């Protein structure tokens, strides 16, 4: 038992020989009590890491640029853990009550963090302040756990500080491992972000409150005991009600983000897919959002896809590779050529392909490209697939229909190494068409893509096309919702590349009828794009990405 003459919570000096130790009044033997404390450390550590990963995942999804969001969350949280460790000194006089109170607060904040971030994104249009605030608050509470647990475990049986710390940290690290593995393989795919966070908070409150209210109940005054019971019941009730209302909350928040005509909302293992627009009518009313960013607008997607595909089809084009483009729209343009023998679409997310096959509006927009026997689908990461033997020297045309390079997960698909693999997959005389981002609004990104293609040994012809706003995160400005985006201009930037000579920007006489593209419009677009040129930019590589 802790020496009452010493300051509470401070490890006293070893007791002289012959002085009897009085064990803590526990309902179980000391060995079982220690195991229960360590088991609680294990559970709380797992819950804490799930909260952290929830913030990372949701921050990357809502704000973008996963590297920046990971850096913000981790650095703020680690700093806050240090602050929490210092603040825990004030609670060591009543460690059992302090630990239970910390766990109740942590369960409430962590359990509701995902819902609060999504609400901030949907209705306030900005989630960065909420991300930083929750990272700090959760970090403070996590940091307060170990000092209080150190005091509690010494209440059961005195041991040297080094041994106690080793036991606690071992349980803590193993719990963090389990929580880290459970999040991507169990919590996220089975429960989703909102329900997963709230269920984690329920487990957290039950473990922390249960340990103190049962194992250390004799350390609590009757008033403290009833306060903790009331606090934990309230936390569990709030989390339970939030879980029941989670689906309704998602629907309301989704309407706030995407407008009132959300038809399909699917969370795949890769991203969130949202289709908006009426269930019947013209496909031009359809919008496809991937992770909150407008990826396809039925209003004028043809401008983008005609400009991306047809300049590359001037020349041999019997075998075509589409990287990305799981929506089937680039494949639709390719399949308009009767002399195309085979089209291979390499798409990471099978959910996009499934939606493009089965949704009536999207399949009408892509002219049911997936029903064409010439089209084959490979569900794999494009970088990994290009490294394999199936890609080498097989294609007359490669169409890179990928998200903007500024989105961190796609950065490697705009690297010098990636374009080197793509060049290896081309037949002699083959062409590579790349979506490179808007040259007018993001010239550094666009011309970095062009410089990277040249560094990979390709000769380039830059050009652009105009259309509707594409690729924005739907929440940062509520005025930029799905309904109002049609009025906003946007330039799409492309680069046509080849190995042997600079490719000519033109459309052949035998090109299928086009609505927005001609040889003259391509010449004008190339001239306008050239005015934005930035020189001297280094290429982007895997170890040194240049996009922001």
For the annotated catalytic residues, the residue numbers are: 401
Cα 282 to Cα 273: distance, rounded to the nearest angstrom: 20
3-state DSSP call for residue 93? coil
197: which 2 tokens?
């966070």
Q: Please report where in the chains the tokens 């209210």 appear, as a residue.
A: 213
3-state DSSP call for residue 301? helix
Which residues on neighbouring strands pair with residue 344, listed in sequence order? 321, 376
Residue 434 makes CB contacts below 8 A (sequence gap 6+) with: 400, 414, 419, 449, 453, 494, 495, 496, 497
Nearest to 212 by CA among 275, 297, 153, 294: 153
Q: Please report where in the chains the tokens 């075998």 appear, as a residue.
A: 319
CB 531 within 8 A of CB 537: no
Nearest to 122 by CA among 40, 27, 53, 58: 58
C-alpha angle 481/485/486, rounded to 5°? 145
Burial degree of 547 (CB within 10 A; 0-12, 13-18, 19+): buried
- HSE of 450, CA atoms in CB hemisphere, 13 A: 27
Query: Distance between terminal CA atoms of the chain?
Result: 57
Cα 435 to Cα 322: distance, rounded to the nearest angstrom: 12
Q: Please report where in the chains the tokens 């306060």 appear, as a residue.
A: 227
Cα 418 to Cα 408: distance, rounded to the nearest angstrom: 15
Could you tell me the maximum CA-CA distance found in the chain, to the nearest angstrom? 104
85: which 2 tokens?
């460790």
Cα 301 to Cα 294: distance, rounded to the nearest angstrom: 11
Q: Please report where in the chains the tokens 């990928």 appear, as a residue.
A: 402
3-state DSSP call for residue 172? helix
């Amino acid at each position: 038992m802790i020496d009452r003459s010493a300051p509470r919570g401070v490890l006293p000096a070893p007791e002289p020989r012959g002085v009897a130790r009085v064990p803590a009044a526990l309902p179980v033997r000391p060995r079982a009590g220690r195991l229960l404390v360590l088991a609680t450390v294990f559970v709380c550590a797992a819950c804490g890491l799930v909260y952290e990963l929830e913030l990372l995942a949701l921050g990357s999804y809502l704000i973008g640029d996963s590297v920046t969001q990971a850096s913000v969350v981790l650095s703020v949280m680690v700093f806050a853990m240090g602050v929490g460790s210092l603040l825990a000194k004030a609670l060591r006089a009543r460690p059992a009550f302090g630990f239970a109170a910390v766990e109740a607060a942590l369960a409430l904040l962590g359990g509701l963090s995902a819902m609060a971030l999504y609400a901030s994104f949907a209705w306030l249009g900005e989630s960065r302040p909420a991300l930083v605030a929750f990272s700090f608050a959760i970090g403070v509470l996590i940091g307060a756990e170990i000092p209080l647990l150190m005091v509690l475990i010494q209440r059961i049986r005195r041991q040297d500080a080094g041994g106690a710390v080793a036991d606690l940290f071992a349980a803590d690290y193993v719990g963090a491992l389990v929580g880290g593995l459970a999040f991507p393989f169990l919590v996220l795919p089975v429960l989703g972000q909102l329900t997963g966070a709230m269920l984690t908070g329920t487990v957290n409150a039950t473990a922390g409150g249960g340990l103190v209210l049962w194992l250390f109940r004799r350390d609590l005054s009757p008033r403290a005991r009833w306060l903790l019971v009331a606090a934990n019941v309230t936390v569990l009730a709030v989390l339970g009600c939030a879980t029941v209302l989670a689906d309704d909350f998602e629907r309301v928040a989704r309407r706030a983000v995407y407008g009132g005509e959300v038809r399909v909302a699917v969370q795949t293992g890769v991203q969130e897919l949202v289709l908006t627009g009426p269930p019947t009518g013209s496909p031009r009313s359809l919008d496809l959002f991937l992770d909150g960013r407008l990826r396809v607008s039925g209003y004028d997607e043809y401008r983008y896809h005609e400009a991306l595909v047809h300049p590359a089809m001037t020349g041999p084009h019997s075998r075509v590779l589409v990287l990305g483009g799981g929506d089937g729209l680039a494949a639709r343009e390719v399949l308009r050529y009767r002399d195309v023998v085979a089209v291979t679409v390499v798409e990471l997310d099978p959910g996009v392909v499934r939606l493009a096959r089965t949704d009536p509006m999207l399949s009408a927009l892509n002219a049911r490209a997936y029903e064409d026997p010439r089209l084959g689908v490979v569900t794999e990461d494009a970088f990994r697939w290009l490294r394999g033997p199936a890609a080498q020297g097989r294609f007359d045309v490669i169409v890179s229909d990928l998200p903007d390079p500024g989105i961190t997960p796609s950065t490697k698909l705009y690297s010098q190494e990636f374009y080197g693999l793509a060049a290896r997959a081309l037949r002699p005389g083959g062409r590579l068409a790349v979506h490179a981002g808007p040259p007018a609004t993001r010239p550094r990104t666009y011309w970095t893509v062009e410089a990277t293609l040249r560094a990979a040994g390709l000769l380039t012809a830059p050009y652009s096309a105009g259309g509707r706003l594409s690729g924005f995160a739907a929440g940062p400005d509520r005025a930029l919702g799905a309904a109002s985006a049609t009025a906003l201009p946007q330039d799409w930037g492309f680069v046509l590349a080849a190995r042997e000579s600079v490719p000519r920007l033109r459309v052949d006489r035998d090109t299928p009828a086009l609505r927005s593209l001609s040889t003259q419009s391509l010449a004008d677009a190339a001239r306008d794009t050239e005015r934005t040129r930035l020189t001297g930019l280094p290429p982007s590589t895997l170890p040194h990405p240049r996009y922001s």
